Structure 1
């Protein structure tokens, strides 16, 4: 249940009419343990009553926009100076859900920039359309038949801050938000409360999302995604051995390589000179591993259309495959990246977040994202968190060998919607 604390005008006047709101997004996919999001009985009925009103066309438009956003955000991250020489791994589903939730409280140019940055066509989609589409998408992810996947949100509201009731109601109804009251003046206790919630939702994979809190913070909105996957065909640990991984032409590192000689789904994209391997999980999700001849060729061209084409073109072939066993963690500040994608006003004094509160001038101070990915013989485990803080084809040979012993890209996707839960590039499995 979302709580609306009383607003203390004197307190905020003393803060020079500058307030802080935090929007943190947490996503964890393929994680060990439970993580299914539960709604109360009353909420269940509300969802059922509302989802039916959503247009299937709106859901399709939002889903397609989310997929396009995935690769635009990837390219921005790949081009960023801080990403050079590092693995890239993030949850586009997490980031898009966070920004969509933020757009509920945005107005004017700030709202236009968020819609444009997310790829939502404002002539075809209203905010209500987007909210109902996310409600449908989140409900699908939380379907009881998918106990290995869960998505939702939570909102942490300062005791002396009163967001608009309609803002909170939309978060609760469309984004399945849990609600909590905290005292952000007690920064350590507030951070511990948020981190405990995040840790539980990611089964311990992200145990310290909040490193520190500004006392001007008045609200945090968290969106999480959780997934645990077991390979449909597990790797035999007895075949796992150390081998070289070629980071670049001059650098080799020892990596623990898993091996499987089996009938697997593969495809070779001749235009991109990329071999694609699909490893299904025991669910409606799978991992796509893309091994290009030239990484830049794949990175600059990859799009949702490629993923659709690859999934349709997959053929079962006996293949001797080698994949590194690894565990990686990534952390990003997305302020500059999102600004370069056109979402600028929310970070400055021109921010218009009056859909959250008319009484205070709010702006986003930081957007951060953390992610983890573990791949072993049994399956894969991944987690990610994003935060927005507002303050004041054919192979030659009968048994081809496919070795992922040089930089490759990875996607974790859902079969039916082709929703991209996680996306990244592994250039060194040992860091």
Structure 2
């Protein structure tokens, strides 16, 4: 996934997200623009002493806030007219991480709105606490033994702009940002430099993050996550057949339906009339698929506590599972969505980003989120080590109950150890 936050006097761009077969890419970009005067580039200061990882309490508070933020953002997206009849897919982890980085440079009411919008309790968490937790999360992500997983950040600074050294130090220390100097007045060359960096870090999956650069841009902050995973038990391509997917009462589309009979961890939520399926991958990530009788009932009720309840209550049972093989792409302008979540000042003249620089005129103008996800027989995304047993049943003929995802369903992709929600969405039509 890829997230771009762009700041100048009037412009803030946020491009988000790309995932491919068994591959998620997360990238966050913050570009900051200035007024018409130029400042020289300053020297970095020594890093201030901080604890490498936040307290267990801070980690818990931030993790819980991030999970709550995931579903609040989902509901805002689902409620918008542009989302009606469309697939929804985005990375709440990317949005919250990028906005947390933005909060490093925010002050006053702008900072308060960011903290509140992200769900961080300012009476219990300081900015330093939040930075240390994200430092812990980044360290944890990069200390895994998974070959096809990496996470990191970079900051590109215009050589005529002087950001506060302490801002850069926090990005370097807590978010492990690589640092580069560029000449943003050379818009084409600067865009090429950033794009090549992102392309390399994402193994070519995102090759043109930046298409248009404002010559007043003074800073880009990149955050990327690359993950390539496979199902612990892959689907047999020989069993993939054409089948119908019921988009709504009046619309049916043809899809390639994958099939596997196996022991799966499932849960039947009888209150919401929803079946929950957990698919294991060969890493620390897992995918939850939720098949409701009525989508709105599930959307209105789903929250972190409900997901935790499902995971705790799941039990293995043999099922004949059918899941569509699909590729989807989504695109959002998040200005209104984030404003409705209380983060309004960063978009206008009241923006206070003096933690980045004392220069006037820094503001966020545009937030765009893009995402793609491909699911096939080999894999889709990260994996939790959920035990799927293949057992032989004795005594008479047995027909495993069928669980067919042939109508709209929700999807959550999480990391098992931190329970971080990397991706969240709703598949209404796998063919669009």
Equivalent positions of 1:124-273 (< 5 A) are 124-273=124-273
Matches within 5 A, 1:89-100: 89-100=89-100
1:283 aligns to 2:283 (yes or no): yes
Q: Which runs of 5+ in 2 are unaligned?
A: 1-7, 28-46, 383-397
Which residue pairs with 1:369 in the alignment? 369
* CA RMSD across the alignment: 2.3
Q: Is the 8 A contact 1:32 1:381 kept in 2?
A: yes
Deviation at 1:198, TM superposition (A): 2.2
1:15-414 aligned at under 5 Å gives the runs 19=9, 50-52=50-52, 54-381=54-381, 399-414=400-415
Q: Which moved more, 1:206-215 or 1:331-340?
A: 206-215
Other structure's SS at 1:198 match: helix
> What is the CA distance between 1:347 and its match in structure 2?
0.4
Q: Deviations over 1:139-187 (max 9, x none)?
A: 1111142333322211111121111000000001101111122222122
Distance 1:296 1:34, change over 3 A: closer
Aligned 8 A contact 1:327 1:429 in 2: yes
8 Å CA contact 1:329–1:370 kept in 2: the answer is: yes
Cα distance in 2 for partners of 1:219, 1:22 equals 11
Q: Which runs of 4+ in 1 moved over 3 A?
A: 18-37, 49-53
Segment of structure 1 superposing worse, 118-127 or 331-340: 331-340
Q: Could you give the per-residue CA deviations for residues 289-319 of structure 1, whole angstroms, max 9, x where no partner exists?
A: 0000000011111001111111111111110
1:40-93: CA deviation from partner (whole Å, max 9, x where unpaired): xxxxxx89x855452111011001100000000011111112212211111110
Taking the aligned partners of 1:53 and 1:280, their CA distance within structure 2 comes to: 29
Question: CA 1:272/1:35 → structure 2, altered by over 3 Å: closer, same or farther?
Answer: closer
Q: Is the 8 A contact 2:153 2:175 kept in 1?
A: yes
> 2:30 corresponds to which residue?
none
Residues 269/130 of structure 1: CA separation in 2 closer, same or farther (3 Å cut): same
SS of equivalent to 2:286: strand
Cα distance in 1 between the residues matched to 2:306 and 2:201: 32
CA contact under 8 A between 1:29 and 1:422: conserved in structure 2? no
1:40 maps to what in 2?
A: none
Q: CA deviation at 1:25?
A: 7.0
Contact 2:13 2:368 (8 Å CA) reproduced: no
Q: Summarize the Cα distance change of 1:165–1:156 in structure 2 as closer, same or farther, 3 Å threshold.
A: same
Kindly state the Cα deviation for residue 333 of structure 1 after the two structures are TM-superposed. 1.5
Q: In the alignment, is the contact (CA less than 8 A) between 1:278 and 1:286 conserved in 2?
A: yes
1:223–1:21 Cα change, 3 Å? farther
Q: 1:145 to 1:22 in 2, by over 3 A?
A: farther
Q: Is the 8 A contact 1:19 1:218 kept in 2?
A: no
Aligned mates of 2:134, 2:13 — CA distance in 1 = 17
Q: CA separation in 2, counterparts of 1:116 and 1:243?
A: 45
Preserved contact between residue 164 and residue 357 of structure 2 (Cα < 8 Å): yes
Q: Which moved more, 1:72-81 or 1:121-130?
A: 72-81
Pairwise CA distance, 1:207: 2.5
How far apart, CA to CA, are the structure 1 residues paired with 2:20 and 2:139? Answer: 18
Equivalent residues, number: 391
Q: Displacement, 1:215? A: 1.4
Structure 1 residue 371, shift from structure 2 partner:
1.4
Shift of 1:420: 0.3
Q: 1:198 to 1:31 in 2, by over 3 A?
A: farther
Cα gap change, 1:362 to 1:158, in 2 (>3 Å):
same
What is the CA–CA distance in structure 1 between the aligned matches of 2:120 and 2:19, rounded to whole Å?
25
